[in-house]
Amino acid sequence: MKKISATILDFASPITDTLDADASIELRRDTLSIAIVLWNSRVLQACGQGEYLADLVARFRKMPPQRSAVMAALVQAMILKRHALYANDLRLVGEWELRDLGDGEVSLRAVAHAAPEKK
């Protein structure tokens, strides 16, 4: 099994790949944060705690229509990717840090935690 950091970077690619090469580290962190929250929500849903994912989707729906439509498409792409590649990966992402290595390169350090027991 890949390190959680490599898994998350791959999982997040539908939204991180949309960033400009000169995007700030803050924007990169914010974008990756969305992916991590979505990842963790999906893990919790698989463990019988689906309310976290439902709450996240409800928040996206409250955005202005154009942003909501964009987020819906990105979230759908990420959920499909997660299902196709990582359906059995039930690690939660705990503490994480994204570092700017320069020249548009970043490094993610993340701590994986076991999923809670299924309800």
Judging by beta carbons within 10 Å of its beta carbon (0-12, 13-18, 19+), is residue 53 exposed, middle or buried? buried
Q: pTM for the complete prediction?
A: 0.87
The pLDDT value given to residue 119: 67
Contact 34, 15 (CB under 8 A): yes
- In order along its 119 residues, the chain shows pLDDT tens digits of 899 999 999 999 988 988 888 889 999 999 999 999 999 999 998 888 878 878 877 887 888 888 888 888 888 888 889 999 999 999 999 999 999 988 778 899 999 999 888 76
CA distance 56 to 62: 10
Specify which residues 43 forms β-bridges with.
none
Judging by beta carbons within 10 Å of its beta carbon (0-12, 13-18, 19+), is residue 70 exposed, middle or buried? middle
